[in-house]
Amino acid sequence: MALRLNGSSSGYVELDVPAAAGSHTLTLPDGGGSSGQYLQTDGSGGLSWVTPAAGGKILQVVQTVKTDTAAQATVTTMTDIPGMSVAITPSSTSSKVLVRIGLGVIGTATNERGVTFTLLRNSTAIGLGDDPGNSNERATFATQAGDSTYMEGGVFYEFLDSPATTSEVTYKLQWQTFSNTNIYLNRSGSSTTGEWNKSGSSTITAMEVAG
């Protein structure tokens, strides 16, 4: 048996049930809900208005821009890069944080050298590669630094982290080279000016993504 509600001037809205219907009672919520909400059942006939989850949406963006240069002499252990950190406070424990890193010019004082980088959440290294088997040297990513004359191109990296907290989290970047030489950020290894010795800027960005 259908329930028909007639319009005041014309038309109608009709509610029908299956031919072999069971016995169910559906209790509508009080009020008409809000725009974008939908009716959800509790499995026992109780209906309520629910706002869809905001999964995948960007909730906030925080960025640090480093325009000055950084230098480190004979880096044989992972060392903080001054100014390459950013703090963010997630709004939910289910949120993820997308960390994006863009490095400007990477240079060395002599010949080209390999440089490794480690990304940390507070004091915990994240995104580390597997142990190569013959040492415990692990890093998040790496690049080759240009020599004292030339500049290395931009270096980009991103990592989707799950901090599972609503407390402030600081992401920072460390670097290391395995050669006995100075390494630089935002400049080449040469201090002279010219076509190949322009400076650059670097960024570290944290974006909260709704879970």
189 versus 148: which is more confidently predicted? Answer: 189
> Contact at 8 Å (CB) between 140 and 160?
no
Domain locations in the chain as residue ranges: 1-52, 58-209
Give the whole-angstrom CA distance, residue 57 versus residue 125.
Answer: 26
Per-residue burial over 131-169, b if 16 or more Cβ lie within 10 Å, else e, is: eeeeeeeebbbebebbbbebbbeebebebebebeeeeeb
Q: What is the DSSP letter of 130?
A: P
> Contact at 8 Å (CB) between 118 and 139?
yes
> Contact at 8 Å (CB) between 108 and 178?
no
pLDDT mean over 106-132: 86
Predicted confidence band of residue 100 (pLDDT cuts 50, 70, 90): very high
Q: pLDDT value at position 170?
A: 98
The CATH number for 58-209, chosen from 3.40.50.300, 3.40.50.720, 1.25.40.10, 2.60.120.1340, is 2.60.120.1340
Whole-angstrom CA distances from 5 to 14, 23, 33, 71, 191 are 6, 22, 21, 77, 83
61-89 per-position pLDDT tens digit: 999 999 998 888 766 688 999 999 999 99
Predicted confidence band of residue 150 (pLDDT cuts 50, 70, 90): low
> Which residues contact residue 44 at a Cβ distance below 8 angstroms, ignoring those fewer than 6 apart?
none
Give the whole-angstrom CA distance, residue 60 versus residue 21.
Answer: 48
Is a pLDDT exceeding 60 seen at residue 135? no
